[in-house]
């Protein structure tokens, strides 16, 4: 009998694989490849998923996490999602980290670390700020190699003019 | 002949008055009263305006600034708005400050200071982080008393059960 919680390493990897697939699709549209999935922790159901759409939508706020959080809030009919976990292929930036806190997300799993733009393990380390109103649990480095490779390939191809 | 730039103190106050009016409407809908206006700096034209809609829309990201930035990007057809200024009645939080940086907003005018939730003059002081990719000019305290009073009244009425 499999009694492993939905947040076991294996399950986390599965949701992250879905986020990676979303990120890959985004790259094909010329978007920076970042994907995000919101999961209802109790049931393991994927409530919302999204990839980066800043260029497609011409929207500076259209990061994968923001779009997934907005969709999850819409689906569940509440601006706060304390029963949900977020899986995202890249360490969230300050905008997304703050949105995650506003949404009261239970746990954040992220893939690649982002020393330049990240705001969880880098920069302002938002969840460690004394003024933060909600501190989710954080698991970094899930499927790190695959998540990072996607971004590296995307930017390398752009530099080579193939993007 | 009036050659004053659109960013003179008087003009700033005018746009802030509009943001205050939007915030007041939000309070009547039971939303935390924060209003924002995006202005095309060269022409002085209001490109977008919004008030907080987190409860109405059940959207944790529906802060006045985020909504106004998204609308401005839609109107101008670009995810970056380097020719625009933002007027907002409250010091932006980390989510909104990061969105302002992503949108490449030229100048931010804000009304009330927010020692608890603000991320410009308080907390992570996002625009002063070494990893920030765009640093707008910032003018704080525009119509400060009126902006702060609106919030104080709103929360006092809520505590008294009249909200």
pLDDT score recorded for residue A105: 98
Is the confidence at residue A163, as pLDDT, over 60?
Answer: no
A-chain CB neighbours of B102 within 8 Å are 54, 60-61, 95
Q: Could you tell me which chain B residue has the CA closest to the CA of A78?
A: B58
Residue B122 touches chain A, beta carbons under 8 Å: yes
Mean pLDDT of A9-21: 86
Per DSSP, the residues of A84-118 read EEEEEEE---HHHHHHHHHTT-SEEEEEE--TTT-
Does B93 sit within 8 Å of A94, measured CB to CB? no
Residue A120 touches chain B, beta carbons under 8 Å: no
Is the confidence at residue A136, as pLDDT, over 50?
Answer: yes
Does A94 sit within 8 Å of B119, measured CB to CB? yes
pLDDT score recorded for residue B6: 44
Question: Closest Cα of chain B to A5: distance in Å?
Answer: 27
**DSSP character for B135?**
-
d(CA A152, CA A154): 5
B142 compared with A9, residue with greater pLDDT? B142
A56 compared with A4, residue with greater pLDDT? A56
Percent of chain A with pLDDT over 90: 87
Residue window 28-87, chain B: list those with CB within 8 Å of chain A: 54-55, 57-62, 66, 69-70, 73-74, 77-81
d(CA A128, CA A141): 18
Mean pLDDT of A136-162: 93
A-chain CB neighbours of B117 within 8 Å are 131, 133
Question: Closest Cα of chain A to B5: distance in Å?
Answer: 27
pLDDT score recorded for residue A9: 54
Local confidence band at A160 (pLDDT 50, 70, 90 cut-offs): confident
d(CA A55, CA A21): 19
* Residue range A71-122, pLDDT digits in tens: 999 999 999 999 999 999 999 999 999 999 999 999 999 999 999 999 999 9
pLDDT score recorded for residue A13: 78
pLDDT score recorded for residue B8: 52
* Residue range B45-77, pLDDT digits in tens: 999 999 999 999 999 999 999 999 999 999 999
Question: Closest Cα of chain A to B6: distance in Å?
Answer: 25
Q: In this complex, which of B70, B94, B126 lies closest to A59 when CB atoms are compared?
A: B70
The answer for residues whose C-beta is within 8 angstroms of residue A147's C-beta and 6 or more apart is A16, A20, A23, A89, A90, A111, A112
The answer for residues whose C-beta is within 8 angstroms of residue B84's C-beta and 6 or more apart is B38, B39, B40, B41, B47, B72, B76, B103, B105, B106
Residue with tokens 């976990």: A85
pLDDT score recorded for residue A70: 98
Residue among A24, A67, A31, A119 nearest B94 (CA): A119
B135 compared with A163, residue with greater pLDDT? B135
Mean pLDDT of B93-102: 98
pLDDT score recorded for residue B9: 54
pLDDT score recorded for residue B10: 61
d(CA B117, CA B124): 10
Local confidence band at B5 (pLDDT 50, 70, 90 cut-offs): very low
Cβ contact A64:A34 at 8 Å: yes
Does B93 sit within 8 Å of A78, measured CB to CB? no
The answer for residues whose C-beta is within 8 angstroms of residue B132's C-beta and 6 or more apart is B101, B126
Give burial (CB, 10 Å; 0-12/13-18/19+) of B99.
buried
The question of whether A144 is a catalytic residue gets the answer: no
Q: In this complex, which of B77, B79, B123 lies closest to A60 when CB atoms are compared?
A: B79
pTM of the shown model? 0.92
pLDDT score recorded for residue A6: 44
pLDDT score recorded for residue B159: 86
Cβ contact A17:A143 at 8 Å: yes
Q: In this complex, which of B55, B95, B103 lies closest to A102 when CB atoms are compared?
A: B95
- Long-range interactions of A5-13: CB distance < 8 A, separation 24+: A6/A39, A6/A41, A6/A43, A6/A44, A7/A41, A7/A85, A7/A107, A11/A44, A12/A87, A12/A109, A12/A139, A12/A142, A13/A142, A13/A143
The residues of B annotated with a catalytic role in the active site are 65
| Residue of A42, A65, A137, A157 marked catalytic | A65
Q: In this complex, which of B60, B73, B80 lies closest to A79 when CB atoms are compared?
A: B60
Is the confidence at residue A12, as pLDDT, over 80?
Answer: no
pLDDT score recorded for residue B61: 97
Interface-testing mutation among A74, A78, A80, A124, with chain B (most B C-beta atoms within 10 A): A124
Is the confidence at residue B34, as pLDDT, over 60?
Answer: yes
* Residue range A32-81, pLDDT digits in tens: 999 999 999 999 999 999 999 999 999 999 999 999 999 999 999 999 99
pLDDT score recorded for residue A5: 42
């Amino acid at each position: 009998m499999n009694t492993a919680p939905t947040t076991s390493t294996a399950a986390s990897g599965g949701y992250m694989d879905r986020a990676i697939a979303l990120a890959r699709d985004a790259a094909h549209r010329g978007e920076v490849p970042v994907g995000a999935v919101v999961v209802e922790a109790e049931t393991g159901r994927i409530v919302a998923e999204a990839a980066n759409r800043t260029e497609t939508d011409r929207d500076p706020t259209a990061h994968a996490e923001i779009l997934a959080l907005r969709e999850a809030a819409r689906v569940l009919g509440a601006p706060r999602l304390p029963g949900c976990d977020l899986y995202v292929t890249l360490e969230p930036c300050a905008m997304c980290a703050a949105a995650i806190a506003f949404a009261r997300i239970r746990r954040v799993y992220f893939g690649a670390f982002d020393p330049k733009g990240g705001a969880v393990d880098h920069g302002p380390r938002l969840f460690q700020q004394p003024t933060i109103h909600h501190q989710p649990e954080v698991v970094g480095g899930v499927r790190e190699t695959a998540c990072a490779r996607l971004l590296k390939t995307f930017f390398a191809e752009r530099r080579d003019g193939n993007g």
